[in-house]
């Protein structure tokens, strides 16, 4: 049995989005209908839009993007409840799930990826177990930042870090800025954030980081941990260069195409630890909600552009040109 048709934005080929009608299934056991309230556009969405792929996943006949979103439950006993939505649906039974590494689930479905449609539509059906309640006073715009904030929390978890360390963040786009937020929540105050774009450096400074242009003005600086939040070979090279001997580099950014390179001699001679961040783990979304409750105004300040679903093409143009910071789409409310 099908639910009513609803508007949705589908990527049909690289750089081509079509606003169309699609059917929504009736919720099954353990599922609820979600009225989507706000969707954040991500760097991975930019890869899909420009390249028609991300890593080894390629665009098929059409894909509704959008995995950073919040909404209101529109079916069942929790109707009317505002929720943040975990875009990942782990199987809970594979060996990685049993090891509590749900983000590495061998049978994972993920909104706006592969064959699983995402949130750039008015409504969708999603497992109830993937929902986290949002406080009544938390704006929808902040709700759309909770998933990337969860990724930032997970990235910081991956680093063996303490409050005595000096930390670098290469790339002050949304994920890099949220890494700064997550670091501060862990008591890490000596944070230097870099970016070639002045408006992003301004955002980093507003969050309490020392903001520096790229390349870093103090070339002799050495960091205990460096986060690559840009995903380019140049950013990773800078991260390796800036990490102290015996330091760590955590790669959060996603490179164009499916390859990246490192200077092996530098990484080897410095005996660096190189870690790769894969989305967020189970429980990180709830931690993001908790963290965001005390930082609503700074997080709202990261939202620079807002579009309706009918203007989704303009939203993606803003995303790929990096004219702002966080770009949001509202699928059904203006």
Q: What pLDDT, on the 0 to 100 scale, is given for residue 183?
A: 97
Q: Would you say residue 296 lies in a domain? A: no
Domain match, 216 and 253 both: yes
Q: Would you say residue 282 lies in a domain? A: no
Domain match, 128 and 200 both: no
Q: Would you say residue 290 lies in a domain? A: no
For the residues 160-164, what does the mean pLDDT come to? 90
Q: What pLDDT, on the 0 to 100 scale, is given for residue 3?
A: 53
For residue 266, pLDDT over 70 is answered with yes
Domain match, 228 and 135 both: no
Instruction: State what percent of residues in the chain have pLDDT above 90.
Output: 76
Q: Would you say residue 66 lies in a domain? A: yes
The CATH number of the domain where 24 resides is what? 3.90.180.10
For residue 106, pLDDT over 70 is answered with yes
Domain match, 161 and 67 both: no
pLDDT category at 333 given cuts 50, 70, 90 is low
The CATH number of the domain where 183 resides is what? 3.40.50.720
Domain match, 160 and 266 both: yes
Q: Would you say residue 62 lies in a domain? A: yes
- Say which range, 4-13, 177-186, 304-313, 321-330, has the weakest mean pLDDT: 4-13
Q: What pLDDT, on the 0 to 100 scale, is given for residue 219?
A: 62
pTM: 0.93
Q: What pLDDT, on the 0 to 100 scale, is given for residue 229?
A: 95
Q: Would you say residue 291 lies in a domain? A: no
Domain match, 8 and 136 both: yes
Tens digit of pLDDT for each residue in 218-234?
666 789 999 999 989 99
Q: Would you say residue 293 lies in a domain? A: no
Domain match, 7 and 123 both: yes
What 330-333 contacts at long range (C-beta under 8 Å, 24+ apart), as own/partner pairs, is 330/37, 330/38, 330/39, 330/140, 330/306, 331/7, 331/8, 331/9, 331/36, 331/39, 331/119, 331/120, 331/121, 331/122, 332/6, 332/7, 332/35, 332/36, 332/37, 332/122, 332/123, 333/37
For residue 2, pLDDT over 70 is answered with no
Domain match, 205 and 138 both: no
6: burial class by Cβ within 10 Å (0-12, 13-18, 19+)? middle
Tens digit of pLDDT for each residue in 47-81?
888 888 777 777 777 899 999 999 999 998 999 99
Q: What pLDDT, on the 0 to 100 scale, is given for residue 68?
A: 96
Domain match, 130 and 176 both: no
Domain match, 233 and 123 both: no
d(C-alpha 191, C-alpha 264), whole Å: 26
Please, what is the average pLDDT of the chain? 92
Tally of structural domains, the chain: 2
Q: Would you say residue 289 lies in a domain? A: no
Q: Which domain holds residue 24?
A: 2-145+302-330
Domain match, 132 and 225 both: no
Domain match, 9 and 125 both: yes
d(C-alpha 299, C-alpha 113), whole Å: 26
Tens digit of pLDDT for each residue in 275-314?
999 999 999 999 999 999 999 999 999 999 999 999 999 9
């Amino acid at each position: 049995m099908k639910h009513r048709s609803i508007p949705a934005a589908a990527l049909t080929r690289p750089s081509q989005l079509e606003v169309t009608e699609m059917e929504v299934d009736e919720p099954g056991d353990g599922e609820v209908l979600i009225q989507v309230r706000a969707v954040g556009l991500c760097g991975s969405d930019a890869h899909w839009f420009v390249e028609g792929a991300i890593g080894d996943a390629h665009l098929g006949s059409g894909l509704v993007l959008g995995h950073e979103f919040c909404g209101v439950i529109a079916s069942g006993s929790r109707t009317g409840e505002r929720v943040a939505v975990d875009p990942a649906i782990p199987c809970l039974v594979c060996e990685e799930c049993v090891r509590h590494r749900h983000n590495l689930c061998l049978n994972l479905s993920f909104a706006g990826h592969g064959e699983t449609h995402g949130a750039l539509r008015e409504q969708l059906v999603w497992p109830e177990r993937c929902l986290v309640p949002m406080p009544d006073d938390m704006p929808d715009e902040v709700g759309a930042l909770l998933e990337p904030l969860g990724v930032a929390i997970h990235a910081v978890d991956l680093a063996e870090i303490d409050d005595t360390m000096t930390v670098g963040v290469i790339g002050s786009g949304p994920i890099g800025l949220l890494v700064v937020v997550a670091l501060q929540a862990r008591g890490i105050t000596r944070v230097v954030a870099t970016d070639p774009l002045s408006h992003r450096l301004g955002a980093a400074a507003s969050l309490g980081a020392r903001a520096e242009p790229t390349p870093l003005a103090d070339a002799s600086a050495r960091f205990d941990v460096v986060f690559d939040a840009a995903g380019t070979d140049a950013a990773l090279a800078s991260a390796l260069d800036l990490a102290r001997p015996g330091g760590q580099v955590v790669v959060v950014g996603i490179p164009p195409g499916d390859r990246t390179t490192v200077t092996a001699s530098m990484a080897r001679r410095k005996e660096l630890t190189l870690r790769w961040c894969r989305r967020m783990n189970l429980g990180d979304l709830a931690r993001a909600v908790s963290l965001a409750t005390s930082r609503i105004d700074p997080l709202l300040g990261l939202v620079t552009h807002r579009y309706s679903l009918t203007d989704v093409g303009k939203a993606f143009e803003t995303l790929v040109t990096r004219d702002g910071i966080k770009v949001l789409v509202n699928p059904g409310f203006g």
